[in-house]
Amino acid sequence: MSTSAEDDRIRAAARGDRAAAASLAAEFLPRVRNLVRYLVRGDTEVDDMAQEALIAILKGLPTYRGEGSFKSWCDRIVARTTFAYLKRKRADASDAMEAAADLEVPATPGRGDDYVARRQLARMLDRLPTEQRHALVLHHCMGLSVPEVAEALGVPFDTAKSRIRLGMASLRGRLEEG
């Protein structure tokens, strides 16, 4: 659940307080960007998708009822926005999105291991089929249950369960390979 101070900031941003909205956006940008990065291959359009997701979150603030975690509410918007972006992208172009080279990001003292681990995970996720990747991210990163994953992806329960299982098996195999 969110804190009272966070609730106040959310309500203020929903009423149009630019400072509160900027504060929320700054706080959630790393989380939004990481979730988008885990959902898509490569880094070429992650920032555009993250920006679109943040805008959707800010526009949707008046609809947030305060039931459940604000982070979970945001995560669901990020996933829906990212999937919609990818769907539009596929409709606009017949080619699949190309994987981009790793970004050169300056090291942050004490945070290098986190960055390296996230990059390694992102590269491993890049090798999975899109369906398995989306199911794994929704289930393990966002914490959705299998029925919620099935609903988010618009597939039957057994299909979602199978995609999660196959994706995990593939990741385990890659980890064992070295």
Q: Determine what percent of the chain falls in helix, strand and coil, rounding each to the nearest 5.
A: 75, 0, 25
Question: What pLDDT, on a 0 to 100 scale, did the predictor assign at position 113?
Answer: 66
Confidence (pLDDT) at 158 = 95
Rounded distance, CA 91 to CA 161, Å? 27
pLDDT score recorded for residue 118: 74
Mind listing the pLDDT tens digit for each residue in 115-129? 777 777 778 888 888
Question: Is residue 36 within 8 Å of 46, Cβ to Cβ?
Answer: yes
Nearest-angstrom CA–CA distance, 73 and 56? 12
- CA dihedral angle for residue 32, residue 141, residue 165, residue 87, rounded to 10 degrees: -10
Confidence of residue 93 (pLDDT cuts 50, 70, 90): low
pTM check: above 0.95: no
Q: What Cα–Cα distance (Å) separates residue 134 from each residue in 19, 25, 36, 128, 157?
A: 34, 24, 10, 9, 14
CA distance 170 to 166: 6
**Domains of the chain from N-terminus onward:** 1-95 (1.10.1740.10), 110-178 (1.10.10.10)
